[in-house]
Structure 1
């Protein structure tokens, strides 16, 4: 059982609940001066001409915020991009015992789930819950989720490989909404 979450969930009561219930977690931490001081050695631009690809460095250390009852592991990722004056820095609080790079990879999968949610919002419009009663909106959301899952099934199992990477919105626009093509107009 595991949880990936953004900085909105970086709260001591959430950490304590997850640890008590036996969950593994990777939760983004907002940067602060203490965290930046812990990775100060990575915040100096590497010597030499910057390569074309970003230079990525990871660090792991123990940290205790004032609101926390105990120290927790924090993984830092520092990216130096060509043409940028300052590095991109991110911090993740975690109880995973993996290598820092693997923790960052695990956390980044959160973005994949967000893409699925965004695709559902645009393709089947599952945020359009306009009924007045909660129960009616709950049923409507279940129907939207079913439509999304059917679309995904069709995309991954029933369509040729050439179009299996298309978004559900593109599939709807190119395959479902347009069922025919006008070859000859009635006026001519």
Structure 2
């Protein structure tokens, strides 16, 4: 007798019947594209080579590599919870995309459970592993930069500008180290995120307590990150500069950057002393103001109380057609006046808006959240370490998705957001069939528009040398 399949007619159209079946289908065909990009980067092989696996080899069912792929690829496709792997347990796409095995074997192998993936996070948060996980993020960013160097206004031969900013992440429950933040109006962690605005790459993430000051740990973390980028990109310190918000222009952070000969520019909070220095320049030129509002720039020298010595400060004066008063703000920098006159310093600082846009994408496209709790057994430090790993793996997912976005921009000549890339290109239905020991994935018609251009672009991404 044939198997009976339950069905139900829709109320708006009795001719439409909904049936449930066990056919080998998926709605996440783009997961194979992400796996292809992840393999081309070589980051999983590099991690597997350097990670310390503390498990008993006789009881290992899932390699660290397959588990890391599971977490990163699922998050990139919008499945951000560890428990989602159980929901996708019988999906042939995810069986194939995350497994180490080849041939038909992945289709007959169980996927890792939520408990297994939770133990993965614990393993990666071990002190001997957490730096390796951070190195993997740098590996992904450097690889993507070398594969797709012509993104936006960036050129491969120009200096790299690193944007550093805080990214409040609201938390729920008893996450150790989180705290209520009055400015954010919620209980949060306050991680530092380092990105490259001109290219959209995320190169670093440092989890901090919810009550951490804006610049806390920045004085040690930024020089260390710059050194890692110098080593990975084979460049000297003159090829890097740091762009900062007003919360990071304290004496400790700026002194640390000066001590390491790192170029920087950042916004200063206005105060009475700065306004007094600006007062001689707050006069409009004679005559009727033009239709286009004007700007003036002036170099000043200023020493804040927390600074050991005076620094170069650029005053920017702006007209506001709806206001009698002029608007002023200040930038501090150690860039030399000859190569970086005031107008060039301002133009460079204004690129920071792109970094903020990419940070917004990170939070919305990845639904960035940190959920490791103390469970009554973990210390605050252990919870923080686990959530540090969760943060870095989310940045991995961003980078892989950003790489596919870059390929689409190159192949189509138009801009793509991460959400648009995932929803219009990667979230595609497919049916799997097995014949002559080969797995064939038949894509839905929705893939016909973009996949013929996407697949060749992904396959041509070269591996990172070395």
Q: Which residue of 2 aligns with 1:184?
A: none
**Which moved further from structure 2: 114-123 or 132-141?**
132-141
Q: What TM-score results when the alignment is normalised by the length of structure 2?
A: 0.35
Which of 364, 367, 371 is matched with 1:122 structurally?
A: 364
Match of 2:405 in 1: 155
State the shift of 1:75 in Å: 0.6
Structure 2 unaligned segments of length 5 or more: list them.
1-239, 374-382, 430-443, 446-466
Question: How much does 1:121 deviate?
Answer: 0.7
**Which region of structure 1 is more displaced relative to structure 2, 30-39 or 91-100?**
30-39
1:4 aligns with 2:246: no
Report the Cα distance in structure 1 between the residues aligned to 2:384 and 2:252, rounded to whole angstroms: 29
SS at match of 1:39: helix
Higher RCO, 1 vs 2 (CA within 8 Å, ≥6 residues apart)? 2
After superposition, the CA RMSD in angstroms is: 2.4
Shift of 1:66: 3.3
Distance 1:60 1:174 in 2: 49
The answer for the alignment partner of 2:200 in structure 1 is: none
Q: 1:140 to 1:13 in 2, by over 3 A?
A: closer
Assess if the C-alpha contact under 8 Å between 2:372 and 2:387 holds in 1.
yes
Q: Which runs of 5+ in 1 are unaligned?
A: 182-188
Distance 1:134 1:64, change over 3 A: closer
What pairs with 1:1-188 in structure 2 (closer than 5 Å)?
A: 1-97=240-336, 98-126=340-368, 128-132=369-373, 133-158=383-408, 160-161=411-412, 164-176=414-426
Aligned length: 179
Deviation at 1:178, TM superposition (A): 7.5
- Aligned in 2, Cα 1:141/1:64: closer, same or farther, shift over 3 Å? closer
Larger radius of gyration: 2
Residue 186 of structure 1: aligned partner: none
Residue deviations 1:80-118 (CA, integer Å, cap 9, x gap): 132233222110111111211111222222332222111
